[in-house]
């Protein structure tokens, strides 16, 4: 992560009142504990004003699994002042981003003329440990979340508005909602 990305993500956490409480190695940026005891994983991203949003360099099936129960908060920044967030902030809940994640999984399975996909692995033979290493190498290079998906997100401008989104999501989870995978306090 670049230093500017890190500054912007810290600014997002501060603006939206979330703690820097993730542990080293966690695949999310903050853990919000809802009033009902559900802990909701939150990942922060930034994008240039009006542009699609980049994701991560090695986007794998593991990334898809992680994002199936993570709230993604995406804020805009101005290219002329890249250290600060400004403009719109949208929240993508797992149910909003589900279709986009399915598209990325199809791309990972299919591959391309130059990149192996998971379906290609069925045609490769060799020692299982070598196949496993090749399989770990199957990834997408920073797929972009389109403006269409971003426009379907929930716009928020304050910590209170984000908290409301996180609380509503936690109620869906506790009722067996989207994926029911968030962490229960206990």
pLDDT mean by block of 10 residues, the chain; 186 residues: 71 89 77 92 93 92 93 94 88 95 95 88 88 88 95 96 95 65 45
Q: Which domain holds residue 65?
A: 3-98+141-184
41 lies in a domain?
Answer: yes
Is residue 60 within 8 Å of 108, Cβ to Cβ? Answer: yes
In a domain, 40, yes or no: yes
Which pLDDT score is estimated for 4? Answer: 58
Closest CA to 156 of 1, 42, 56: 42
Instruction: Report the CATH number at residue 162.
Output: 3.40.210
pLDDT at 9: 87
Asked if residue 181 lies in contact with residue 69, where contact means CB atoms within 8 angstroms, the answer is: yes
Residues 71/169, Cβ–Cβ less than 8 Å: yes
- pLDDT for 177: 53
- In terms of Cα–Cα distance, which of 48, 111, 110, 100 is closest to 72? 100
Look up the pTM and report it: 0.86
Number of domains in the chain: 1
Nearest alpha-carbon partner for 33 in 183, 162, 159: 183
- Backbone φ and ψ of 149, nearest 5°: -65, -45
């Amino acid at each position: 992560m670049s230093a500017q990305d890190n500054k912007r993500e810290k600014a997002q956490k501060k603006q939206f009142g979330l703690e820097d409480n993730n542990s080293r190695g966690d695949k999310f940026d903050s853990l919000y504990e809802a009033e009902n005891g559900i802990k909701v994983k939150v990942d922060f991203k930034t994008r240039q004003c009006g542009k699609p949003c980049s994701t991560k360099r090695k986007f794998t099936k593991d990334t898809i699994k992680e994002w199936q129960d993570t709230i993604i908060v995406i804020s805009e920044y101005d290219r002329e002042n890249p250290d600060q967030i400004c403009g719109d902030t949208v929240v993508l809940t797992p149910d909003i981003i589900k279709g986009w994640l399915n598209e990325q999984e199809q791309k990972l399975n299919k591959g391309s003329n130059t990149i192996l996909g998971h379906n290609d692995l069925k045609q490769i033979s060799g020692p299982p440990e070598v196949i496993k290493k090749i399989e770990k190498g199957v990834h997408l290079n920073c797929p972009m979340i389109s403006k269409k998906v971003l426009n379907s997100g929930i716009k928020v401008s304050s910590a209170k508005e984000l908290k409301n989104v996180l609380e509503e999501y936690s109620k869906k989870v506790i009722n067996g909602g989207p994926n029911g995978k968030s962490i229960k306090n206990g």
